[in-house]
Chain A
């Protein structure tokens, strides 16, 4: 039998290790406030800093932090400094609720920026609604998100719009007629985008010859690519994320496919070019912005981001920045920090000039945004077309 003393000692040991470490970290002072005075206004950021979607969360957080800095340098909000409370949901659905609770209850944030992944944003909505704290998602493109509550806003376009643009671009500009759609079946984003693309492409007169599925945790796509190429398509549609897309394009090129490939904003990451390399020539994806944008504000942001993090910002950083700025602007216009007032101000956002374009929130709490089609050549992206609806 064990001696209980030993058990107590072991318990204390385990407990104190954990406690001391978190106490040490918690004790670190947060960023000092700049010129603006008074108690800081806190804005939450619900982000996936670790886990499978860590790269999105980390990029977005960098954008949000830069936004807060710039706003504070420009006098803060309502004369008070803004402070960002970040909380990591580890890319896990089941963590979101308590993350939101912590932001709202413990950190007393007045609004929350987040999440990127639509499923996590969805899980955050009940809490936001319950405590009447506006939730502004920078990058959840699932149309369903803003339908679930009147405190939820989106500052990017939806998959419905994006999917239609991809289909039209492929049909009208690339002149392709016979598509193979390859879907990440573990991602709602990809499933949805594939569906919308298929509908629109068929409506335009094209044909989806074959649909194939993989999962984002896969690392091998020969079977799927073989199956897709079996139908002799002239276009590959890859609606998943860059983590798989680069690889799939490579596999397709090696199997002898030379036609164009298209996809959505999930492609956007520096890693894509590194993984895909030359194979990515003649591929195109829709995005929220392009680093080629001559807009000086965009170029200034890119320069700042580059000097700090050593990389060109991806769309998530830009959207994070815009989302935070839209929230600051709304608080300023509301003149108050109560949730319902900020909500009303957010709903009234009109012609806000952000890095990813001009943002106007419509009655469905979505932003009507312009979309750019990015092309890839020699492992570099270029602006193929700034899409205008026809």
Chain B
């Protein structure tokens, strides 16, 4: 685990401003995500949450003002699940293009079991439901050593029990010294401090 080098923030943004289609989505937005913090990005539909997350993750590199510094490449889960329908859950994780590590098969099966995919490891993903396909992607949260998670609507298509398990995982990760930045319209039910950043019109942030 590479979580122990405390001190500098994992992710810092200064004075971010973004205009899309003539509309100011946000301006003068600053935040510092340190180890051990859970951040929730809030805002209405179309407020610019995903745009903000793509900027913070480093996927959008132009077209905005301000500066972003990252201590590490984040583990980013976006709207698209990056799950290949023709591959099994096990293959999807083992050959994942994010290339974070060469996981042992036992670890992969363990992570898949923890997201409720025990018994589905070697079925092609096109035979899984939408929620199960999202869960394949979420299994990475049980494998990765990456301290910084940027998650865009991770609860989409996930059932109640799954959402609770996921929130418990966030708390665990934060307690281990990681950091989580998440967008969701749901209220996070976690027993740790949630830092909030509000995006969009009428935002007092």
A binds B: no
Interface residues in chain A, defined as those with a beta carbon under 8 Å from any beta carbon in chain B: none
Interface residues in chain B, defined as those with a beta carbon under 8 Å from any beta carbon in chain A: none
